[in-house]
Amino acid sequence: MTNTAHPFDALMDITVRPQAVFVRGEGSFLWDASGNRYLDFVQGWAVNCLGHSPAAVADALCTQARLLLTPSPAFYNAPALKLAKALVDKSCFDQVFFANSGAEANEGAIKLARKFGALHKNGAYEIITFEGGFHGRTLATMSASGKKAFEPLFEPKVPGFRKARLNDLDSVQRLISANTVAVMLEPIQGEAGVWPATDQFLRELRALTSKHGLLLIVDEIQTGMGRTGKLFGYEHAAITPDIMTLGKGIGGGVPLAALLATERASCFEHGDQGGTFNGNPLMCAAGLAVLEVVGEQAFLKSVTDTGLFLEGELQKLSARHGLGEVRGRGLLLALDLKLPIGASIIAQAFEAGMLLNSPQPNALRFMPALNVTREEIAELIDGLDAILTKVGAARRVA
């Protein structure tokens, strides 16, 4: 890994990037300009739910591109209408607003909650979010996030977010006041290192928010679209949230996100919300192609089965190398390394042709394509086994 500028790099230096330039992707594999192949368990940060450049998405994009790109968000278009209807048919929500990124969908959720507070709760505007939570990189979504590293940045923050502790109902209860309008959380905190909200906590949170007339907002940008083995993560807890945001997997690799709300919570008036590219037919055509595959029960069952297989293989790996627990659900899993060696492991994995992510120094996160095969998982486990053996030997020598 290096952050030396690329010879022709005019991109802002916003993160450490390896020198490789990626030119092609297919399923679970990526190729760089030198022809090196990489087994990808990052998939654009849990974006490519059907793998790299799936034929279904590519075909939908080509067909739609020849028909109509953008008529204007002030006009209806067929793919947006069809995708919105398909999403409400498969969820507990009634209305959809399409966005271009997860952060934008979450901004919409925050605005919708504040509008609800203005209309129905005497101007209440505070949203209770969670320590460790991640909701995006706009000013409001950074303010809503509970990521420690964000705290000193871009002051002053947007006011109105109070942080509770995940799986601690009392910590939520203590923050509820006349100013509170909503509670917002990820069913599994992804960026924090894959920390699940328990099903019981989600049920208790639903009961508590209902009792106080508060909106429950689930940020399913990482957990939605089949990632956990159900189409939406909230289904595991059998609850009915008021608002949900989707991103990442919904476009299967293209920038599409969505804000969904129940009839009661869906209170935007004309002029409150919009955006030039929102709900454009090109992205919605991709979303329809994705949902057609991911929305099938047989596909979701295969995600559950493959997730259990990966979980089992990671547990065996952990036992062999004296590592910690495996957390998560479906194909959003983390392996606790017990030591802050995540960055070194992903650098070695890259050199060995495997793309992995370490959201926290002591954890590896696995978010492969939802149609990843057992052979690809076995290849990953073998590669990781070799790296961990090397790391263990080096530690013994040191």
**Locus of tokens 């490519």:** 48
Q: Which is nearer to ligand PLP, 103 or 282 (CB)?
A: 103
B/e letters for 129-151, b = 16+ CB within 10 Å, e = fewer, are: bbbbbbbbebebbbbbbbbeebe
Q: Answer for the pair 198, 165: CB distance below 8 angstroms, yes or no.
A: no
Q: How far is CA 20 from CA 4, 344, 347, in A?
A: 12, 18, 13
Contact with ligand PLP (CB under 6 A): which of 25, 44, 102, 196? Answer: 102
Q: Answer for the pair 22, 31: CB distance below 8 angstroms, yes or no.
A: yes
The DSSP string of 222-271 is TTTTTTTSSSSGGGGGT---SEEEE-GGGGBTBS-EEEEE-TTT----TT
Binding segment toward ligand PLP, per CB under 6 A, in 5-13, 219-227, 269-277, 282-290: 219-227
- Distance of closest approach, residue 342 Cβ to ligand PLP, in angstroms: 17
- Distance of closest approach, residue 42 Cβ to ligand PLP, in angstroms: 12
Contact between 252 and ligand PLP by CB under 6 A: the answer reads: no
- Distance of closest approach, residue 195 Cβ to ligand PLP, in angstroms: 12
Q: What's the one-letter identity of residue 15?
A: T
How many other C-beta atoms can be found within 10 angstroms of the C-beta atom of residue 362?
17
Q: Answer for the pair 287, 295: CB distance below 8 angstroms, yes or no.
A: no
Half-sphere exposure in the Cβ direction for 359 (13 Å, CA): 22
Binding segment toward ligand PLP, per CB under 6 A, in 95-103, 157-165, 201-209, 267-275: 95-103
Contact with ligand PLP (CB under 6 A): which of 219, 313, 336, 376? Answer: 219
Contact between 135 and ligand PLP by CB under 6 A: the answer reads: yes
- Distance of closest approach, residue 219 Cβ to ligand PLP, in angstroms: 5
Contact with ligand PLP (CB under 6 A): which of 48, 64, 180, 222? Answer: 222
Contact between 103 and ligand PLP by CB under 6 A: the answer reads: yes
**Binding mask 136-175 vs ligand PLP (x if CB under 6 A, - otherwise)?**
x---------------------------------------
Contact with ligand PLP (CB under 6 A): which of 60, 128, 182, 221? Answer: 221
What span, in angstroms and rounded, lies between the C-alpha atoms of 125 and 118? 8
- Distance of closest approach, residue 185 Cβ to ligand PLP, in angstroms: 9
Contact between 242 and ligand PLP by CB under 6 A: the answer reads: no
Contact between 54 and ligand PLP by CB under 6 A: the answer reads: no
Q: Which is nearer to ligand PLP, 117 or 132 (CB)?
A: 132
How many other C-beta atoms can be found within 10 angstroms of the C-beta atom of residue 273?
16
- Distance of closest approach, residue 292 Cβ to ligand PLP, in angstroms: 22
Q: Residue 256: name the closest of 40, 105, 30 by CA.
A: 105
Binding footprint of ligand PLP on the chain (CB under 6 A): 45, 101-103, 106, 134-136, 186, 190-191, 219, 221-222, 247
